[in-house]
Chains A and B, each alone.
Chain A
Amino acid sequence: AQSVTQLDSHVSVSEGTPVLLRCNYSSSYSPSLFWYVQHPNKGLQLLLKYTSAATLVKGINGFEAEFKKSETSFHLTKPSAHMSDAAEYFCVVSDGGNKLVFGAGTILRVKS
């Protein structure tokens, strides 16, 4: 069965500094992986997705993630945090069919 582990429940950064949100996955075959973001009182929005093409994936709002098969990781990064990035971020793996398996989420706090 597919699963994802988000290694940090909370991450706090200062505005203008880099963001790193960590995610490890478990999958019995080549997975499809995604990052979603949830702002307070809002639905989830797709940030980026990896579906076996380029291992470095660029998403919206300056975020990117790198698929590393040897490390079974799909960490989300951004060079410079903005106050508007404060939200909860979910790493997600597809079961190859209809079900997306969500990680527990990482709450990103951005300090001014």
Chain B
Amino acid sequence: DSGVTQTPKHLITATGQRVTLRCSPRSGDLSVYWYQQSLDQGLQFLIQYYNGEERAKGNILERFSAQQFPDLHSELNLSSLELGDSALYFCASSSRKSGGNTGELFFGEGSRLTVL
């Protein structure tokens, strides 16, 4: 158990809809990362927050947004959903601001989104 909690584990919705994925980082971790894993794109970095502020942006679509709240949990909002958004969305946390050089991210088990 990594200590990172993601909900929901599975979500099925229709095109055009909006969903929110939630992540609770490990206790004490200030950084939260969102990744998308799909069969055709592999694992793609979406966005990172550190202590409530956006820290780094990756391949995140404009239809997607995220935020980190004062209690450090994070939400990823996906809107105007398309079939191609079907994927496994991972949240990871780290105690460091960059989390890059140390490399140790603690991953949740993911939220599987299916868009029909």
Interface residues of A (CB under 8 A from B): 32, 34, 41-46, 49, 51, 90, 92, 94-105
Contact = CB atoms under 8 A, between A and B. Distances in A.
A99 B103 contact: no
A76 B2 CA distance: 23
A43 B109 CA distance: 4
A78 B43 CA distance: 24
Is the contact region of chain B dominated by helix, strand, or loop, or is it mixed?
loop
A42 B9 CA distance: 11
Contacts of A49: 102-104
Given A43-B90, A44-B90, A105-B42, A96 B109 contact: no
B90 A98 contact: no
Nearest to B94: A98
A34 B94 CA distance: 15
A98 B56 contact: yes
A87 to B, nearest CB: 13
